[in-house]
Protein backbone atom coordinates (compact mmCIF):
# COMPACT_ATOMS: atom_id res chain seq x y z
CA UNK A 1 0.00 0.00 0.00
CA UNK A 2 1.41 3.37 -1.02
CA UNK A 3 0.91 5.95 1.71
CA UNK A 4 2.27 8.90 -0.25
CA UNK A 5 -0.47 11.37 -1.19
CA UNK A 6 1.57 12.34 -4.27
CA UNK A 7 0.60 9.00 -5.82
CA UNK A 8 -3.10 9.41 -5.10
CA UNK A 9 -5.89 11.09 -7.03
CA UNK A 10 -5.45 14.33 -5.08
CA UNK A 11 -4.37 17.34 -7.17
CA UNK A 12 -1.01 18.99 -6.49
CA UNK A 13 -2.74 22.13 -5.16
CA UNK A 14 -4.89 20.09 -2.77
CA UNK A 15 -1.85 18.12 -1.58
CA UNK A 16 -0.11 21.38 -0.71
CA UNK A 17 -3.22 22.76 0.96
CA UNK A 18 -3.72 19.61 3.06
CA UNK A 19 -0.06 19.52 4.07
CA UNK A 20 -0.10 23.20 5.03
CA UNK A 21 -3.23 22.72 7.14
CA UNK A 22 -1.85 19.56 8.79
CA UNK A 23 1.67 20.84 9.52
CA UNK A 24 0.62 24.30 10.64
CA UNK A 25 2.36 27.65 10.58
CA UNK A 26 5.89 26.36 9.87
CA UNK A 27 4.88 24.64 6.64
CA UNK A 28 5.57 27.50 4.23
CA UNK A 29 8.52 28.82 6.24
CA UNK A 30 10.34 25.50 6.50
CA UNK A 31 8.72 22.22 5.50
CA UNK A 32 7.33 23.03 2.04
CA UNK A 33 10.78 23.50 0.51
CA UNK A 34 12.17 20.52 2.47
CA UNK A 35 9.34 18.26 1.31
CA UNK A 36 9.95 19.35 -2.30
CA UNK A 37 13.63 18.37 -1.95
CA UNK A 38 12.94 14.91 -0.57
CA UNK A 39 12.62 13.30 -4.00
CA UNK A 40 16.07 14.66 -4.86
CA UNK A 41 17.78 14.67 -1.47
CA UNK A 42 16.51 14.64 2.09
CA UNK A 43 18.27 17.73 3.36
CA UNK A 44 19.06 18.00 7.04
CA UNK A 45 16.68 18.86 9.88
CA UNK A 46 18.67 20.72 12.52
CA UNK A 47 15.84 20.57 15.09
CA UNK A 48 15.57 16.79 14.69
CA UNK A 49 19.36 16.50 15.01
CA UNK A 50 19.59 18.45 18.26
CA UNK A 51 16.28 17.51 19.88
CA UNK A 52 15.77 13.88 18.74
CA UNK A 53 12.88 12.31 20.61
CA UNK A 54 11.69 15.73 21.78
CA UNK A 55 11.31 16.82 18.12
CA UNK A 56 9.40 13.61 17.33
CA UNK A 57 7.00 14.31 20.20
CA UNK A 58 6.66 17.98 19.23
CA UNK A 59 5.65 16.93 15.71
CA UNK A 60 3.12 14.39 17.13
CA UNK A 61 4.99 11.35 15.82
CA UNK A 62 4.20 9.38 18.95
CA UNK A 63 4.81 5.90 17.49
CA UNK A 64 8.26 6.92 16.24
CA UNK A 65 8.93 8.48 19.66
CA UNK A 66 7.93 5.30 21.44
CA UNK A 67 10.12 3.16 19.17
CA UNK A 68 13.05 5.55 19.65
CA UNK A 69 12.56 5.54 23.42
CA UNK A 70 12.21 1.72 23.58
CA UNK A 71 15.42 1.28 21.58
CA UNK A 72 17.16 3.75 23.88
CA UNK A 73 16.02 1.82 26.97
CA UNK A 74 17.20 -1.48 25.42
CA UNK A 75 20.51 0.13 24.54
CA UNK A 76 20.97 1.20 28.18
CA UNK A 77 21.14 -2.47 29.18
CA UNK A 78 23.89 -3.35 26.69
CA UNK A 79 27.35 -2.95 28.20
CA UNK A 80 29.64 -1.01 25.85
CA UNK A 81 32.69 1.21 26.16
CA UNK A 82 32.26 4.97 26.34
CA UNK A 83 33.78 5.45 22.88
CA UNK A 84 31.22 3.04 21.41
CA UNK A 85 28.48 4.88 23.33
CA UNK A 86 29.55 8.20 21.84
CA UNK A 87 29.76 6.70 18.36
CA UNK A 88 26.28 5.24 18.59
CA UNK A 89 24.87 8.49 20.00
CA UNK A 90 26.48 10.53 17.21
CA UNK A 91 25.22 8.06 14.60
CA UNK A 92 21.68 8.22 15.95
CA UNK A 93 21.59 12.02 16.05
CA UNK A 94 23.02 12.30 12.54
CA UNK A 95 20.52 9.70 11.33
CA UNK A 96 17.56 11.54 12.84
CA UNK A 97 18.81 14.86 11.47
CA UNK A 98 19.43 13.45 8.00
CA UNK A 99 16.20 11.47 7.83
CA UNK A 100 13.93 13.77 9.83
CA UNK A 101 12.36 15.59 6.89
CA UNK A 102 11.71 12.35 5.01
CA UNK A 103 10.25 10.66 8.08
CA UNK A 104 8.03 13.66 8.76
CA UNK A 105 6.84 13.94 5.14
CA UNK A 106 5.93 10.24 5.13
CA UNK A 107 4.12 10.68 8.47
CA UNK A 108 2.20 13.73 7.19
CA UNK A 109 1.18 11.98 3.96
CA UNK A 110 0.03 8.84 5.82
CA UNK A 111 -2.05 10.85 8.28
CA UNK A 112 -3.62 13.00 5.53
CA UNK A 113 -4.58 9.91 3.51
CA UNK A 114 -6.09 8.29 6.59
CA UNK A 115 -8.06 11.42 7.51
CA UNK A 116 -9.35 11.81 3.94
CA UNK A 117 -10.40 8.14 3.83
CA UNK A 118 -12.50 8.64 6.98
CA UNK A 119 -14.38 11.45 5.20
CA UNK A 120 -14.85 13.71 8.21
CA UNK A 121 -17.51 16.42 8.08
CA UNK A 122 -14.92 19.16 8.52
CA UNK A 123 -11.73 17.98 6.79
CA UNK A 124 -9.76 21.15 7.46
CA UNK A 125 -10.55 21.12 11.18
CA UNK A 126 -9.64 17.42 11.44
CA UNK A 127 -6.31 18.06 9.66
CA UNK A 128 -5.53 20.89 12.10
CA UNK A 129 -6.44 18.81 15.15
CA UNK A 130 -4.45 15.74 14.17
CA UNK A 131 -1.59 17.76 12.72
CA UNK A 132 0.25 20.75 14.03
CA UNK A 133 2.49 20.50 17.05
CA UNK A 134 2.34 19.34 20.65
CA UNK A 135 4.33 21.42 23.13
CA UNK A 136 3.26 19.49 26.23
CA UNK A 137 4.50 15.98 25.36
CA UNK A 138 8.17 16.96 24.96
CA UNK A 139 7.87 19.19 28.02
CA UNK A 140 6.46 16.26 30.01
CA UNK A 141 9.29 13.99 28.86
CA UNK A 142 11.84 16.65 29.79
CA UNK A 143 10.36 16.88 33.29
CA UNK A 144 10.47 13.07 33.64
CA UNK A 145 14.11 13.00 32.48
CA UNK A 146 15.08 15.75 34.94
CA UNK A 147 13.29 14.01 37.83
CA UNK A 148 14.89 10.64 37.01
CA UNK A 149 18.29 12.28 36.72
CA UNK A 150 17.80 14.00 40.07
CA UNK A 151 16.64 10.75 41.74
CA UNK A 152 19.58 8.86 40.25
CA UNK A 153 22.11 11.35 41.54
CA UNK A 154 20.58 11.91 44.97
CA UNK A 155 19.49 8.41 45.97
CA UNK A 156 21.85 6.08 44.11
Burial 47-63 (b: 16+ CB within 10 A, else e): bbbebbbbbbbbbbbee
What's the number of domains the chain is made of? 1
Q: 96 lies in which domain range?
A: 5-155
With a cut of 60, say whether residue 34 has pLDDT above it. Answer: yes
Q: How far apart are CA 153 and CA 149, in angstroms?
A: 6
Helices (H), the chain: 12-23, 26, 32-37, 46-51, 53-58, 62-76, 82-117, 123-130, 136-155
pLDDT in tens, 85-103: 888 889 989 999 999 999 9
Question: Residue 3's pLDDT is what?
Answer: 53
Residue-wise pLDDT for 39-88, tens only, equals 655 678 999 999 999 999 999 999 999 998 888 888 878 888 878 888 88
Amino acid sequence: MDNNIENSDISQDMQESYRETFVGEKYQKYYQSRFDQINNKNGFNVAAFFLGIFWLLYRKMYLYSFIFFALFILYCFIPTSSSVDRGIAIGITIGIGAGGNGIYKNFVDQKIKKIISLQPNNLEQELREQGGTDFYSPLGLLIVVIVLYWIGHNFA
